[in-house]
């Protein structure tokens, strides 16, 4: 079976090529940038040079034509904003839909979260091709390999969307995906200054601090890279402590595989207590200093 | 100028029940606008107000999406009219089929700007924007956090994983927006009253061909939790809680 990988980052290219090898015996990488021109991870590398002053997505027409010609059975796509646009355009041309954020793949079908984790939904591609977006982690610990025949594919210009400027966003200060323990601050924090207590507690328990979506959006108290849940981070820490977190499914799905779930909330009816191993009913302003002192 | 915001009407996930065989029971769940589509509608209304444009919201689904309360909730948000495209076979549509269901109506409405939300509450595939643009033969720009106009072009700021871009796109175009673009308004009683007088157009949706089919939807087995609850108001409970935390991180 022939599998195509379309990735934007080096990590994505390596991981998805390794994963592709578990699905089929022929792995080809579509490389749209220097970052993904990597040796030894695929049988063929189709290199498309996108001009620096063009949108990366403008390569969609070129990629679509390549896929038309090579007719792979499966396309694995890194789930970034740009790659999702390219995947969608390829899918439209092929008369299928991209099955996104696959947690597991079986032939032309994949299982993804439904309503952010209320259920798992298995969806099958209708057509001769199945296009999935997936993070490399779903394939477990596998290594990429390949003989690397590099073929340059001529870029078909597409300037329907013009790039005016591009700048790097400030890098995320912390990488919550590798943190052993996680503290999440929720809307129960009514004063920004109180977040210091979450950081103080984190220092005591070797944890990093993340948050629920309102803390990055309704108020701009936390960096947007740190929100946990649907469309944010999906984590699997040893210990998760939700402080002032109500327990809304959209957030909890990002941590519900934690080994231990701990909750602090002043509302004893907060749904998070139903999903926690240990819960403390109390006002965070008074209980946090005491917990930090005693821990 | 016509602004068309495409919104998904889903069942309220707060009221989805899980049956004993792990299937989902939607019987108690009311139709509601998918969360982030409210931000898209707000963005559409802000743009329409600025440009003196007409703002139309379009949705496609089974006839269950036609709900008086939900229709008013949409129309109370600075929206001029609502068009519902309905067909009994529109349950669980994939992005390609959704685009096919929406495209003829969006085309008829002569949209200059088609706005889509960040992703739907149920499948969050972030694909209808691209598929709809392809079905309409229009350019698309995603992850937009700011919209402005310069002459006949739309200038959009977009937030990607590690970069920020400013792009220029000729109209008509499809633009999908991140939730940060606009916070949904809190509708007042007057807005809701007036919404009841605004037009709702109901269209029989044409048959569409699916690009993906749902095989099964099952709730996962929940991880068993200890559910030990302590109360800060009870003497000694904080100590017991701290001991439990200390044990967990040991």
Q: DSSP string covering A117-186, please?
A: GTEEEEEEE-SS-EEEE--GGGG-S-------EEEEE------SEEEEEEEEPPPPS--GGG-SEEEEE-
Instruction: Determine the pLDDT at residue B172.
Output: 97
pLDDT score for B250? 87
Given this model, what pLDDT does residue A216 score?
A: 86
Structure confidence at residue A174 (pLDDT): 74
Residue B218 to residue A119, Cβ atoms within 8 A: yes
Q: Which of B121, B212, B241 minimises the CB distance to A280? A: B241
Residue A278 banded pLDDT, cuts 50, 70, 90: very high
Q: Residue B56 has which token pair?
A: 């139309």
pTM for the model: 0.85
Rounded to whole angstroms, the Cα distance separating A43 from A56 reads 24
The answer to whether residue A249 scores a pLDDT higher than 80 is no
Distances (CA, A) of B48 to A186, A276, B183: 34, 45, 16
Per-residue pLDDT band for A108 (boundaries 50, 70, 90) equals very high
For residue B55, how many other CB atoms are within 10 A of its CB?
24
* Per-residue pLDDT tens over the stretch A22-49: 999 999 999 999 999 998 999 999 999 9
- Closest partner residue to A123 (CB to CB) among B24, B183, B212 is B212
pLDDT in tens, A189-231: 999 999 999 999 999 999 999 999 889 877 889 988 899 987 6
pLDDT at res. B5:
98
User: For residue B142, what pLDDT is reported?
Assistant: 98
* Backbone conformation region of residue B92, classed left if phi is above 0, alpha if psi is from -120 to 50, else beta: left
| Per-domain residue ranges of chain A | 2-153, 176-294
Joined together, the tokens standing for residue B181 give 């673009």
For domain A2-153, which CATH number applies: 3.20.20.70, 3.90.1640.10, 3.20.20.140, 3.40.50.620?
3.40.50.620
pLDDT at B126: 97
Task: With residue B69 as reference, give the H or E element that holds it.
Answer: helix B68-75
Size of interface A-B (CB pairs under 8 A): 243
Q: Is the ipTM of this complex over 0.85?
A: yes
pLDDT at A173 over 80: no
Nearest Cα residue to A111 out of B25, B212, B16, B21: B212
Q: Indicate yes or no: CB of A92 within 8 angstroms of CB of B166.
A: no
pLDDT, residue A178, reads 83
CB contact under 8 A, B213 and A117: no
Which residues have CB under 8 Å from A265's CB, separation 6+? A188, A242, A243, A244, A245, A246, A247, A272, A273, A279, A280, A281
Q: Summarize pLDDT for B52-62 with one digit per residue, the tens.
A: 999 999 999 99
Conformation bin of residue A40: beta by default, left when phi > 0, alpha when psi is -120 to 50: left
> Nearest C-alpha of chain A: how many angstroms from B143?
7
Confidence of residue A172 (pLDDT cuts 50, 70, 90): low
Residues A275, B231: C-beta atoms closer than 8 Å: no
Burial of A93 (0-12, 13-18, 19+ CB in 10 A): middle
| B96 touching chain A per CB within 8 A | yes
pLDDT in tens, B127-152: 999 999 999 999 999 999 999 999 88
Cβ contact, residue pair A116, B124, below 8 Å:
yes
Does the fold of domain A176-294 match that of domain A2-153?
Answer: yes
Give the closest of A84, A273, A291 to B126, CB-based: A84
State the Cα–Cα distance between residues A143 and A204, nearest whole angstrom.
Answer: 36
Q: What is the rounded radius of gyration, in angstroms, for the C-alpha atoms of chain A?
A: 22
Superfamily of domain covering A176-294: TPP-binding domain (3.40.50.1220)
Per-residue pLDDT, averaged over A273-280, amounts to 96
- Average pLDDT of chain A, as a whole number: 94
Higher local confidence (pLDDT), A176 or A130: A130
The token pair that represents A258 in the structure block = 């934690």
**Measured CA distances, A66 to A4, A6, A60, A203 (Å):** 10, 12, 10, 51
Q: For residue B11, give the nearest of B43, B40, B35, B36 by alpha carbon.
A: B35
- Provide the CATH number for the domain formed by B2-215 in this structure: 3.40.50.620
Buried b / exposed e along A47-61 (16+ C-beta atoms within 10 A): bbbbeeebbbbbbbb
CA–CA distance, B45 with B39 (Å, rounded to integer): 10
Lowest mean pLDDT segment, chosen from A23-37, A164-178, B229-243:
A164-178
For residue B242, give the nearest of A166, A207, A291 by CB distance: A291
For residues A186 and B23, give the distance between their C-alpha atoms in angstroms, rounded to a whole number: 30
**The predicted structure's pLDDT at residue A127:** 92
Per the prediction, chain B carries an average pLDDT of 96
Mean pLDDT of B100-126: 96
Over residues B69-73, mean pLDDT: 97
Domain boundaries, chain B: 2-215
- Least confident window among A9-13, A113-117, B67-71, B201-205: A113-117
- The strand pair at B163-170 and A161-168 is best described as antiparallel
Q: Which two tokens stand for residue A114?
A: 């439904």
Q: State the pLDDT at residue A137.
A: 86
Task: Work out the average pLDDT over B96-115.
Answer: 98
d(CA B81, CA A234): 38
Residue A265 has pLDDT above 90, yes or no: yes
């Amino acid at each position: 079976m022939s599998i195509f990988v379309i990735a934007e980052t080096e990590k994505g290219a390596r991981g998805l090529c390794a994963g592709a090898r578990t699905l089929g015996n022929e792995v080809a990488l579509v490389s749209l940038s220097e970052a993904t021109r990597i040796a030894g991870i695929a049988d063929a590398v189709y290199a498309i040079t996108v001009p620096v002053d063009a949108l990366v997505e403008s390569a969609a027409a070129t990629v679509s034509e390549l896929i038309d010609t090579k007719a792979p059975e499966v396309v694995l796509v890194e789930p970034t904003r740009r790659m999702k646009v390219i995947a969608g355009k390829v899918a439209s041309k092929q008369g299928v839909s991209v099955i996104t954020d696959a947690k597991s793949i079986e032939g032309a079908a994949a299982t993804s979260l439904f309503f952010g984790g209320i259920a798992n939904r298995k969806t099958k591609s209708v057509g001769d091709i199945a296009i999935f977006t997936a993070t490399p982690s779903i394939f477990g610990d596998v290594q990429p390999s390949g003989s690397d025949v590099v073929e340059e594919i001529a870029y078909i210009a597409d300037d329907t969307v013009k790039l005016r400027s591009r700048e790097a966003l400030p890098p995320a200060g912390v990488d919550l995906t590798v943190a052993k323990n996680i503290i999440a601050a929720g809307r129960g924090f009514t004063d920004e200054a109180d977040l210091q207590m979450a950081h103080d507690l984190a220092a005591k328990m070797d944890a990093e601090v993340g948050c629920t979506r309102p803390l990055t959006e309704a108020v701009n108290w936390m960096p947007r890279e740190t929100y946990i849940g649907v469309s944010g981070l999906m984590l699997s820490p040893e210990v998760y402590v939700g402080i002032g977190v109500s327990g809304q499914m959209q957030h909890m799905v990002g941590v519900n595989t934690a080994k231990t779930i701990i909750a602090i909330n002043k509302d004893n009816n907060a749904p998070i207590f139903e999903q926690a191993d240990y819960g403390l009913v109390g006002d965070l302003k008074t209980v946090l200093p005491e917990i930090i002192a005693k821990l | 100028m016509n602004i068309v915001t495409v919104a998904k009407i889903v069942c309220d996930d707060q009221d989805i029940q899980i049956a004993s065989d792990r299937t989902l029971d939607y019987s108690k769940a009311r139709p509601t606008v998918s969360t982030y589509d409210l931000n898209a509608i707000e963005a559409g209304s802000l743009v329409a107000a600025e440009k003196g444009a007409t703002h139309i919201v379009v949705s496609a689904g089974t006839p269950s999406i036609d709900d008086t309360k939900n229709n008013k909730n949409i129309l109370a948000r600075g929206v001029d009219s609502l068009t519902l495209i309905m067909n009994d076979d529109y349950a669980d549509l994939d992005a390609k089929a959704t685009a096919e269901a929406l495209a003829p109506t969006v085309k008829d409405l002569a949209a200059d700007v088609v706005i889509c939300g960040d992703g739907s509450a149920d499948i969050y595939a972030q694909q209808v924007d691209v598929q709809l643009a392809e079905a309409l033969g229009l350019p698309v720009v995603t992850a937009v956090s700011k919209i402005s106009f310069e002459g006949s072009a739309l200038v959009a700021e977009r937030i990607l994983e590690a970069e920020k871009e400013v792009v220029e796109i000729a109209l008509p175009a499809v633009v999908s927006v991140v939730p940060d673009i606009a916070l949904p308004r809190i509708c007042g009683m007057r807005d809701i009253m007036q919404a009841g007088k605004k037009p709702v157009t109901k269209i029989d949706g044409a048959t569409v061909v699916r690009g993906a089919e749902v095989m099964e939807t099952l709730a996962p087995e929940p991880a068993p939790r200890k559910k030990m609850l302590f109360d800060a108001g009870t003497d000694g409970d904080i100590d017991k809680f701290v001991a439990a935390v200390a044990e967990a991180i040991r």
